Amino acid sequence: MKRYLLYGLISLAIIGTVAFGFRREILMYMITPGDEFAAYQPPPAPDYADPATWAAHPDRADNADLVPPVSGAENRQALAKVDVFYIHPTTNYRGNGWNAALDDPRVNQITDQGTIKHQASAFNGCCRIFAPRYRQATLAAFMAEAGQNGRLALELAYQDVRAAFDYYLQHENGGRPFIIASHSQGTRHAYKLISETINGTPLADRLVAAYLIGFPRQITDDGRMLGHWQVCDAPAQTGCIVSWNTMLEGGDPTQFRNGVATNGALDTLPRTAPDGQIACVNPLSWRTDNARAGRQSHLGAIPFSRDADSGIPEPRPELLEAWCE
């Protein structure tokens, strides 16, 4: 019996070692759709006149209305003079299709309880919040192995974001100033949206700022990005872009430069040279220099909570310090 147990443990150890060595391949197998995009039937396109196609909208109750307790924050959307168009990150991690359906309950739950609750809600003290659902590309689209399939999935997702922004401008904006805010996949789409619809148009004068987080982008020698936009370098600066990518102390920032340069899904965007400077605005100081902002500068972070029955947790101040590299 002991001999069989020993053999079993050895077998498990071998299997575990092999699985660890091929962990990326196993992950790719689990999250990659089985069909080529060319043979894939995407979900129906959204009609943004339908309220169900918005994860957050000022005319109805949603998780973007939430505020942390004991913080003094208030939901002031009804009085706001500025709008925010928020593009959420990837919340579809499955391999059942290259793009998510807008009525997928699992994807929508992750979106609403994750990103709308913890990210979009940050703007409800200053702005009306518009956050479209869109046929987001699945996580596998960002892997180099996805190649053309990933690029096509991301382009389909972008077309929805563009359609939502066009609808917002035509039916909701009314000439108001606005903010673009995004994270990860949402930022990938925001880059293109700003380049194609805002640059060189009267809309540029109404863009208060763009918070383009979690997707690296190179800046020019004079500190500009996306054509002519300055990177924000002061808390009250407007008409500029806020951008950063987060890593723990001791991490290697070249991962962001190399990722932008080599990821196949990014081929439709201008590439970043591996030795190029990546945009970084310190979210504790709102500066672009390398000065360390200590914990005393950190006004608070909220713990992540996906519990549908709970609100936003109480902020915890002085948890973090941050600097740009």
Give the DSSP letter string of 85-124: EEE-------SS-SB--TT-HHHHHHIIIIIIHHTGGGGT
Look at residue 46 and tell me whether its pLDDT is greater than 90. Answer: yes
How far apart CA 310 and CA 290 sit, in angstroms, is 38
Find the mean pLDDT for residues 12-20: 44
Q: Could you tell me which residue, 71 or 253, shows the higher pLDDT? A: 71
Q: Under a CB-based contact definition with an 8 Å cutoff, are residues 128 and 106 in contact?
A: no
pLDDT single digits (tens) 142-151: 887 888 999 9
Least confident of 13-27, 170-184, 220-234, 293-307: 13-27
Beta strands 240-242; 82-87: pairing state: unpaired
pLDDT single digits (tens) 118-128: 999 999 999 99
* Cα angle: 133, vertex 138, 87; to 5 degrees: 35
| pLDDT on residue 307 | 74
